[in-house]
Amino acid sequence: MSESAKTIAFVVLGALAVGAAYFIDRPTAPVNVNTLVGTTLNSEFGVDAPKRLQIVKFDRETAKTKQFEVASTDGVWRIPSKQDYPADATQQMAAAANALIDRKVLRVAAQTAQEHEALGVVDPQSAKLDSNSEGVGTRVVMSDADGKTLVDMIIGKKVKDAEGQRYVRNSNQDVVYIVELDPTSLSTGFEDWIEDDLLQLAPFDLQSLFINDYSVELSYGMSQDGRIQTQVSWDRRSEIKLDYDVEAAKWALNDLKGYDRSTQQMTEQTLPADDEVNQEAIDKLRDGLDDLLIVDIAKKPTGLSDDLKAGSDFMTNQEAFRDLIDKGFSPVPLKPGAPPEILSSEGELVATQRDGVEYVLRFGKLQLQTETAEGEAPVDPAAAEEAAKAAAAEDGKDLRRYLFVMARFNEDAIPKPQLKELPGTGDSTETKEEAAPAEAAEPAAEPNPEAAGGDQAESLQNSEPTDETAPADAAGAAAKPATAEPDAEKPAEETPAAAPAAPAKPSDEAPAAAEKPADQPSEDAAAERAAIEQENQRLQDEYNETVAKGKKRVAELNQRFGDWYYVISNDVYKQIHLSRDQVFKKKGAESEGVPADDANPLQGLPNLPIGAPPAE
C-alpha cells in the first residue's frame, strides 16, 4: 500500500472513531420542560404485557453490578439468576408493572448529566464506576414476550420533604423527572419471588411427627490396605414418635428410643413419670412447617434420586459425590451389600398427614450468608463452612443451613374402611352379637369332618356358636364340661348330637314355611344384603380415592422438591429441629425453648467407612 493510501485509511478510521464517540456521548436534545409536566411515563402497555424483569444495582464494596432477573418462559415464571428456579411471580410482576406504569411527571428536576450523581440516577451499568462512585441508581428494565423493551428507567433518591416521590429518568435521556413511585414491589429478594409455602401442608391435618435426632461428621482415615478413605462418625441420640390426640387436642408420646452405646443399638425407653410432652415447643414446630421460609436454593447433583438413595451412577460421579458431602449429606452403607443411605449432618424430621402424605426433612451443614439475593457466586465451600462455624460461635447472625426435602406416601396413616358383614358370612367387621342373627337366616350346611380346612374352617372359626351351629363340631361338644347329670327319660333326639337329624316339629307356621324353599333368602334379607353391599362399596371407593389422591400429591410434591437443596435461616432451623430435651419438659415447668446444639460430641458409631471419592 502506498503512503498516500495509508494516510487516507487513517483519516477514514479517525473520522469513524470521532463519529462513534459522538453518537455514544452525544448531547441530549433540548427538552421543553413546560410540555413534560403533567404527562405520563410508560402508558403504552398494560399490566399483563411485561414478561421479563431485570433489576440492576451497583455494590460499592465490590465495585460490581448485581442483577436480579425473573422471566416467563412457555407460561412458567422462573428466576434465571437462580438457576431457573420456579418463581411465583404472577402477582409480584403485576405489582412491579403497576409501580412503573402511568407515572405522572410532577416536575422536571434536571436536564443535564452533571446533576445525575446528586439526584442518585447514575446508571449502574456505566463503565466508569468504581468503589468511590456515588449517586448510583437502580436500573429497571421490563420487556414483553417478543423481547421488546417496555420500560428502561433508572430510579434514584427520594425527594426531600415529599412523601412517596422519587427522582427517575429514562436510561437513554439526561432529563430527570419527579414522580410518585413506590419501589417496594421492585424487590431483588429471592424469597419475595418464590412460593412462600414450600411444603404446602395443612398444619392441623398433621397426624404424627417422627424426630430422628443424630449428628454425622465426615473425616478421612486409613483403610486396612493403607489407602485413604472417607469415613463418617455417627452420633445417634434418640428417636421420638409423637401422635396428635384429636379428642384431647394435644400431642402424645407414641414411642421413645435411646441409643445404647454398649450394644450400639436403639432401645426402647420409658419417659420419666415427672416428664411430659412440651406442647408449646411442638406447636411451634408445627407452625414452622406450615410457614417454612427458604432464603436460597442450590441445584442437586445429577444422579441423585428423589428418595435420597444414591444409585451407582451417582456414586461414580465425583462432582456429584463431593457436592452432596459439601452440603452435609453423607452416603453410608448401613448394611453389608446394601446401597448407601444418605445421612444428614443434623438428623431428620418426618411429618405425616392424615391423607398419608409424609414429608421427610433432612438437615445439612451450616452455611454463612456469603452471597446476596442478586445472585453473587458462592465462595469456596470449605472456607464457607469455617466462616459459618465462626459465626455460630459468635451470635449466629447470617447463619443458614442446607435442607433436603422429599415426600413419600404412607398408606398405614389412612384408616382402613370398616366394611359391614354380609348376611350368611363370617368375615365381618361387626361384633359377633350383631353377626349371629344374620347367620341364622341361612340354612345350616351338613357338617363334613374331613373338610375342616379352607373357607369353611375360617367361617367356623369366625362364627359365634349358636344352637344350630354348635352341634356341627362333635369334638367341641364332647370337650364341653358337663354341668349336670343327663336325664335318663329325655328323648335321645333332644340331645345336642342328635339335634341336626331331628325332624321339624309340626306347628301352625309349618304350612307357611313350606311355601318358600328353605335355600332362598327372603326379600327382606336380599334387600338388606344389597344395601350392605352398596354401603361397603361406597366406603371402599372413598378409601381408594383417598389413597389415589395421596399418591398423586406425593408425586406433585417430589416434582417440586426433586431438583433442589433448600437453604433455611438459623432461626427457622431452631424452630423445626428439636432435641429430646426440647420435646419433653418437667410437668408444670415453663417451656425454656433452649435452641438445639449446632455442634454435638460425636460418640455414636465411629468411623463407618463410605469409601473414597471417585477417582479423577
Answer yes or no: do 126 and 259 share one domain: no
Does the residue 376 lie in any domain? yes
Does the residue 425 lie in any domain? no
Predicted model pTM: 0.68
DSSP assignments along 167-214, one per residue: EEEETT---EEEEE--GGGS---GGGSS-S-SS---GGGEEEEEEEEE
Answer yes or no: do 307 and 395 share one domain: yes
- Distance in angstroms (rounded) separating the CA atoms of residues 126 and 141: 15
pLDDT in tens, 491-548: 444 444 444 444 444 444 444 444 555 555 578 888 888 999 999 999 999 999 999 9
Answer yes or no: do 136 and 262 share one domain: no
Answer yes or no: do 183 and 210 share one domain: no
Answer yes or no: do 119 and 263 share one domain: no
Answer yes or no: do 76 and 113 share one domain: yes
Q: CA 9: distance to chain centroid?
A: 67
Answer yes or no: do 226 and 171 share one domain: no
Please tell me the total count of domains within the chain: 2
Q: Domain boundary residue among 127, 162, 192?
A: 192
pLDDT in tens, 176-202: 999 999 999 888 888 888 887 889 888
Name the 3-class secondary structure at 270. coil
Torsion of CA 30, 33, 34, 35, to 10 degrees: 70
Does the residue 288 lie in any domain? yes
Q: Which residue has the higher pLDDT, 408 or 439?
A: 408
Does the residue 441 lie in any domain? no
Q: Which residue has the higher pLDDT, 404 or 386?
A: 404
CB 299 within 8 A of CB 551: no
Phi, psi of 279 (to 5 degrees): -60, -40
Does the residue 221 lie in any domain? yes
pLDDT in tens, 599-609: 443 444 445 55
Does the residue 69 lie in any domain? yes
Answer yes or no: do 321 and 395 share one domain: yes
pLDDT greater than 50 at residue 478: no
Does the residue 485 lie in any domain? no
pLDDT for 21: 47
pLDDT in tens, 46-88: 888 999 999 999 988 888 888 899 999 888 899 998 889 998 8
DSSP class of residue 440 equals H
Does the residue 576 lie in any domain? yes
Structural domain of 324: 205-414+561-588
Answer yes or no: do 148 and 215 share one domain: no
Residue 425 burial (CB count, 10 A): 16
Q: Domain boundary residue among 167, 192, 217?
A: 192
- Distance in angstroms (rounded) separating the CA atoms of residues 239 and 237: 7
One-letter amino acid of 239: E
Answer yes or no: do 179 and 212 share one domain: no
Tell me the CA distances in angstroms from 159 to 117, 166, 184, one per residue in order.
Answer: 14, 5, 16
Answer yes or no: do 325 and 261 share one domain: yes
Answer yes or no: do 239 and 173 share one domain: no
